[in-house]
Amino acid sequence: MTHAKTLYDKHIDAHTVCALDDQGHVLLYIDRQVINEYTSPQAFSGLREAGRDVWRPQTALAVVDHVNPTAPLRVAAMADAGGALQVSYLQQNCEKFAIELFDVLDKRQGIEHVIAPEQGFILPGMVIAAGDSHTTTYGALGAFGFGIGTSEIEHLLATQTLVYKRLKSMRVTVDGELGTGLTSKDVIMALIGKIGASGASGYAIEFAGSTIEALSVEARMTICNMAVEAGARGAFMAPDDKVFAYLQLKPRAPQGEQWERAVARWRLLYSDPGAQFDQEVHLDATELQPMVTWGTSPDQAATIGSTVPDPQGVSDLILRQDMRRALSYMGLEPGMALNEVVISHAFIGSCTNARIEDLRDAAHVVRGHKVAAHVRAMIVPGSTQVRDQAEAEGLAAIFIEAGFEWRQSGCSMCLAMNDDVLAPGDRCASSTNRNFEGRQGAGARTHLMSPAMVAAAAITGHLTDVRQLAGRL
């Protein structure tokens, strides 16, 4: 009798070169990788010092996204000397090792986890590794992506393989229709809040259920992207007709007869009936509410209509201490209404929520309103292609009319590695993925939420339930 396999098992089994021990370690073949200027320098230096070549350069795509400025007028020059050095070294290495590079002036430039799918570089059934933890994004396409360290990048470039330890499997089933104002960002934030920031450590998550099936491909990317914030080393969904339609006309997708053969193979990418998962988690989408974070970890979150929690009500001493530290850093007191917390900044961007559908959601909320006088609001599209499309659809004009800054593509204010940095004490409603201390700047305070919720906060000047604007949704 054939053993019923999970989707994760199918990916790993199909890419295992050989077993290395009886502890689950295998030599894993990697189909493709995406390289950025920030995590690759030491890997390339290691290759140079050892006199090694990149074995299959055509399987890698390089992009500048972390350190580049996002000012409205794009230039190639980097004001920051360290960033300029990283970009220059990436260019040199891509030339030496024959790796394709999207530099900052390339019309295909953008955040790596936005541009790779939109180019059709990621396909169902692939295994992808990259020097960024949010490589899990690609699971929305039925691929298996995970982040790796610099030494692993070097090994991958030289051999197209990695030493890999098999994970346990978790299935998260989400059923029910999402209510007005609810998005996939609220789904993943609710999951992280439920299981904790380490609740999926050692696991690969497969998302399933009627809610997931109803989501667009871009909305699914948001869920897979943030699964790593629950500790997951990978996350994905079985590819379906939505995925195939999304990929079919992408520049690097197979064409003609090759496309038909590929789709036939991709339709086999699902967990077999009876496949056993190490853990099962269920969410009822009908019970979800718009989410915001109040602390300094993505699992320190609550519904927008609730209050800041009181650490005294928590029995676990370590958790209580973490909550107190978070509240001190965030400048919040127990019992404060979250929907009354005043912000100074609003940011829509990042590999989590800067795709065209995210911008449409935000524009729907913003239309006809103005950004609050005390708020600096920014929109940073996930790629130049997304930016151009938003301008063609009239979304950019809506944002500009409302008082948002309309920027060029890049990682921007998701992390303090470029010109877009918050000052100490600034409080930002953000569509990004992490709210760690100093993530957006030393002493800066970050509240994670959906793009629509960020837009609502920008208009009112404080954290706001987007459903209060339901008349226009």
In this structure, are 32 and 175 located in the same domain? no
Contact 349, 379 (CB under 8 A): yes
Does 158 fall in a domain? Answer: yes
State the pLDDT at residue 3: 86
- Contacts of 85-88 with C-beta under 8 Å, sequence gap 24+, read 86/37, 86/38, 86/41, 87/37
Q: Label residue 456 by pLDDT band (50, 70, 90).
A: very high
Domain hosting residue 450, numbered range: 336-472
119 in the same domain as 49:
yes
Helix axes 356-366, 451-460, angle to 10 degrees: 30
For residue range 244-281, what is the model confidence (pLDDT) as tens digits? Answer: 999 999 999 999 999 999 999 999 999 999 999 999 99
Domain edge (last residue) among 201, 231, 263 = 263
Q: Residue 2 has what pLDDT?
A: 66
Q: What is the DSSP string of 88-149?
A: HHHHHHHHHHT-EEE-TTSTT-B-HHHHHHHTT---TT-EEEESSGGGGGGGGGT-EEEE--
Decide: pTM greater than 0.95: yes
Altogether, the residues listed in the chain come to a count of 473
- Residue 76: per-residue pLDDT: 85
Half-sphere exposure of 446 (CA within 13 A, CB side): 29
> Per-residue pLDDT averaged across 106-134, rounded?
98
Reply yes or no on whether the pLDDT at 204 is more than 80: yes
Number of domains in the chain: 3
What is the pLDDT at residue 60? 98
Is there a single domain that holds both residue 158 and residue 235?
A: no
CA distance 356 to 348: 12
| Distance from C-alpha of 255 to C-alpha of 243, rounded to nearest angstrom | 15
- pLDDT tops 80 at residue 430: yes
**pLDDT tier for residue 209 given thresholds of 50, 70 and 90:** very high
Q: Is the pLDDT of residue 79 over 90?
A: no
203 sits in which H/E element? strand 203-208
Residues 343 and 195 in one domain: no
Asked whether residue 207 is assigned to any structural domain, the reply reads yes
User: Is the pLDDT reported for residue 472 higher than 50?
Assistant: no
Tokens at 332, concatenated:
């919040």
d(CA 162, CA 172): 27
Q: Which of 141, 76, 70 minimizes the C-alpha distance to 102?
A: 76
Q: What is the mean pLDDT of residues 149-157?
A: 97
pLDDT in tens, 362-389: 999 999 999 999 999 999 999 999 999 9
405 in the same domain as 276 = no
What mean pLDDT is predicted for residues 229-240? Answer: 97
Integer angstrom CA distances of residue 242 from 4, 215, 217, 256, 273 = 25, 9, 7, 19, 22
Distance CA 425, CA 292 (A): 18
pLDDT at 125 exceeding the cut of 60: yes
In this structure, are residues 30 and 15 in contact, taking their beta carbons and an 8 Å threshold?
A: yes
Nearest to 327 by CA among 304, 291, 296: 296
- Coil, strand or helix at 252: coil
Helices 356-366 and 384-392 sit at what angle, rounded to 10 degrees? 40
Contacts of 402 (CB under 8 A, 6+ apart): 366, 367, 369, 370, 371, 377, 458, 459
Q: The domain that contains 410 carries what CATH number?
A: 3.30.499.10
What pLDDT shows up at residue 473?
A: 41
Task: For residues 118 and 220, state if they share a domain.
Answer: no
Residue 127, domain member (yes or no): yes
Convert the pLDDT of each residue in 19-77 to its tens digit. Answer: 999 999 999 999 999 999 999 999 999 999 999 999 999 999 999 999 999 999 998 88
Same domain for 161 and 176, yes or no, is no
Residue given tokens 């950004």 in the structure block: 371
Q: What is the DSSP letter of 166?
A: P
The Cα 344–Cα 308 span in angstroms is 19
78 and 133 housed in the same domain:
yes
Q: The tokens of 367 are what?
A: 């239309």
The tokens describing 116, both together, are 């790779």
Residue 444: partners with Cβ closer than 8 Å, 6 or more residues away: 416, 421, 422, 423, 424, 425, 426, 427, 428, 438
Same domain, 22 and 155: yes
The maximal CA–CA distance of the chain, rounded, in angstroms, is: 68
Q: Please give the order of strands across the beta sheet that includes 234-236.
A: 234-236, 203-208, 168-175, 279-284
State the chain's mean pLDDT as an integer: 96
Whichever domain contains 177, its CATH number is: 3.40.1060.10
- Is the domain of 152 the same as that of 279? no
pLDDT-derived band at 169, boundaries 50, 70, 90: very high
285-308 per-position pLDDT tens digit? 999 999 999 999 999 999 999 999
